[in-house]
Structure 1
Amino acid sequence: MLQIWVNLIPLCVSGIAWAHDAGLQQNTLQFDLTFDTDPQIGLSEEPWTSKYGAQNDLGYSGPLSFSHFNYKKCLEDASVPFDIGIIGFPFDTTTSFRPGARFGPYAIRSGSRRQSLGAGRGYTLAWGSSPSDYGSSLLDCGDVPISAYDNAKAIDQMEAAYSTLLSRPVFGGTSEVYKEKTRAFSLDGKEHPRIVTLGGDHTIVLPILRALHKVYGPVSVIHFDAHLDTWPPKGTTVQEGITHGSFFAVAAEEGLLTNTSIHAGIRCKMFGMEDIEHDDTVGFQVISTEDIDDYGIKKVIEKIRQRIGDKPVYLSLDIDVVDPGQAPATGTPEVGGWTTREVKRILRGLSGLNFVGVDIVEVAPAYDNADITGIAAADIVHDFLSMMLVDGPPQPHVGPFSKTDLL
């Protein structure tokens, strides 16, 4: 019996080797096959095309890109210039409470699928237009492959990626309605692409500000958040001091900010007024969540615009500025926040400022219910696009109303 097995083993090994080689040959043939669709295949006469036409993606089908935008891995493929790019920073290893925002870019893109802006469906009554009406080339540039193990490396990777995209030539518009937005205040006198960043925890703003500083110098920041994020760095190492609650203080120490930045929606617990006093030294004024009740949305918008003026400005929106009842999927939820409608209304009121970039951060979909946070974040990004493209706040919808009906 032993002799039989001894004789069979070489045959088995030979058979396995033959099958392996055959499999390799089969795979090689499979990858080498190409189709010449010119004369050989008449697509218009095939059953699908002749009956139903193009293979269009539905809201819930097709590759995952933001709002069905064209998609390129822009860091390795510079073949498609763009005016506004979407980039994902899947990073969450400097959070202080609940992690999970590394899945934020995926959740926001998934929440955007029904919008179909890339397929031309972007008009809203609130804006009276679509982002595609303003001639800018919009592109989803994918995600940056960020280290999940080395925070210093991760921050450098984000700065390198953002700097790379900022240095790319702009497309220059898809129609005659395109207008340059950054040439007037860039240090080199050139128009630069603008980036919408999908976070990621809030620390991603530090490498973004470092990259922007090379192009524009110090910038002002409009910061939507429940928390100040200006607390002094703490810890026994430099890297330990850079967190999603201290990055603005670090940015100020590095000279990346003007002294005319502003918070919107603050309602977090603090040690006392000394936190506000330190916040002032970083260069911020505070609009609290409750201010919207005492002064109204119009005054909130007015004070933000007065603070920023005509300076280059970066807008960073932590999804926890929204009440957790409407956006539960975040790492440090605080009750009593603004509604999504209030946030969207304020964003419309900020149109026409000199935006050099925007982000939305701290979406952590593991804590979501029915994808409502991802959907809310995606709709806010849609507002970002219009906000950066129009020359000023849109006029109120008329319908059955007149100007005399306005409050």
Structure 2
Amino acid sequence: MLSSWSLLLALASYAVSREITFPPVAGIQHPIYGFAVDEDAAELDITMMMSGITTFAHLPYVHCLANESEDVEKYDIAILGAPFDTGVTARPGARFGPTGVRQGGIRIGAEFSWNVYTGRNAFLEGFRVVDCGDAPLTFLDNTIALKQLDKAHKVISGRKANHTGYTVPRIITLGGDHTTTLPALRSTYHHWGAVSVIHFDSHIDTWDPEVLGGGLSHYAGVNHGTFLHIAHEEGLIKNTSIHAGIRAPMANKKYDLKNDKACGFSILTARDLDKFGTQGIIDKLKERVAGSKVYISVDIDVLDPSYAPATGTAEVGGWTTRELLTILDGLDGIELIGADVVEVAPIYDNPGETTVLAAAEVVHSLIALMAATPVNALS
């Protein structure tokens, strides 16, 4: 049996062996991954994922909507939130989409974003990408809100780009419901003229405003199902535009498709992917928009609800997230002058944040497409 003295010595030895020494408390959070070393032995600071304000992919925040008299940091690609959802015909909630997509992008960081498929890092290709925050939009009057978004796009795209190779910054909008694409197309027209739209969606969104909402009032006719019809009427888009992923039912047996064609669109249905494969879809999209400037609009409901439940008008039978990302990456080389990801309504997501994670990665792919091909503006 151990004596009392021996027992005390044993306990003291155990206490010493279990002692933990903590580093000094610093006022600055250390990077979560420490430091990474590139091929040239330069240290790259990997941003702490859970610290700081939540911008998309931890991008620097720039007050892009500051008064003209204020100095604003230059940028080449701007992320702009459009918290608007009073143009929906089904479930509301997309006004919180910009916040949701930023939350979904919290694990993305500039220094830690080398693409395993392409070997590229879109954030490190010489273009300054920033988060401009959200446009200040009223939720009480659609007409005023859309005018506010018109102005936000005008201000942000009206600043001189940081890159010396071209003059006009490009914008990726985080919706918001799909009505928010209309102000974006008005903005791109000002700088690049009419564009071909690649529209990823389960719905055609070219419905005649007189059919969808306009029977009540002109005000009601401007919504997330008519904005492409209106864009066509305003001359913003070319007759070389195309839908991809369509599967939702039509309101009229013949008129809807006839009107859609008149608005300048051809259609790739969701099940066309089964016939042509991802490469076939890529080839058809590129062929359709060849020789023109391109705007890409991604309604997150192009994905099947099993991959993106958090949306206003979910339609079963859609694409997987991997299929959509493969198609987007395959569009490398197009002259992409603007883009958006819309209809993300985080309240309907699951605890695993399936939808916002997918939406954030789509934004990442859109940034890569822009970084791959600079585009000079007409004005």
The structure carrying a bigger helix percent of its residues is: 1
Residue equivalent to 1:92: 85
Shift of 1:212: 1.5
Instruction: Please identify the structure whose Cα radius of gyration is greater.
Output: 1
Q: Which runs of 5+ in 2 are unaligned?
A: 1-22, 33-45, 375-379
Residue equivalent to 1:116: 109
Matched, 1:156 2:169: no
Counterpart of 1:205 (choices 164, 181, 194) is 181
Residue equivalent to 2:218: 238
Residue equivalent to 1:360: 341
Residue equivalent to 2:244: 264
Could you report, residue by residue, the CA deviation over 1:120-176 in whole angstroms, capped at 9, with x for unpaired residues? 111021221111231001111000110100100011001110011111000116xxx
Alignment of 1:341-352 (within 5 A): 341-352=322-333
Residue equivalent to 1:40: none
Contact 1:85–1:140 at 8 Å: present in 2 too?
yes
Residue equivalent to 2:14: none
Residue equivalent to 2:321: 340
Q: Give the secondary structure class of the aligned counterpart of 1:48.
A: coil
Counterpart of 1:327 (choices 295, 301, 308) is 308
Could you report, residue by residue, the CA deviation over 1:56-101 in whole angstroms, capped at 9, with x for unpaired residues? 8532232110011101221016521000010100000010000000
Measure the CA separation in 2 of the matches of 1:206 and 1:62: 33
Contact 1:196–1:357 at 8 Å: present in 2 too?
yes
Q: Which runs of 5+ in 1 are unaligned?
A: 1-45, 174-179, 184-190, 393-407
Contact 1:360–1:377 at 8 Å: present in 2 too?
yes
What amino acid is the match of 2:186?
A: R
When the two structures are aligned, how many residues end up with a matched partner? 330
Residue equivalent to 1:67: 57
Could you report, residue by residue, the CA deviation over 1:258-278 in whole angstroms, capped at 9, with x for unpaired residues? 111000000001132321111
Query: So what's the TM-score if we normalise by structure 1?
Result: 0.78
In structure 2, relative to structure 1, the CA distance for the partners of 1:52 and 1:246 (3 Å cut) is closer
Contact 1:163–1:212 at 8 Å: present in 2 too?
no
In structure 2, relative to structure 1, the CA distance for the partners of 1:53 and 1:374 (3 Å cut) is closer
Shift of 1:322: 0.4
Measure the CA separation in 2 of the matches of 1:54 and 1:302: 42
Contact 2:248–2:315 at 8 Å: present in 1 too?
yes
Could you report, residue by residue, the CA deviation over 1:313-359 in whole angstroms, capped at 9, with x for unpaired residues? 11000000000001100000000100000000000111111111110
Contact 2:93–2:347 at 8 Å: present in 1 too?
yes
What amino acid is the match of 1:213?
A: Y
Matched, 1:107 2:100: yes
In structure 2, relative to structure 1, the CA distance for the partners of 1:78 and 1:317 (3 Å cut) is farther
Query: So what's the TM-score if we normalise by structure 2?
Result: 0.83
Residue equivalent to 1:146: 137
Contact 2:196–2:289 at 8 Å: present in 1 too?
yes
What amino acid is the match of 2:349?
A: D
| Greater Cα offset, 122-131 or 98-107 | 122-131
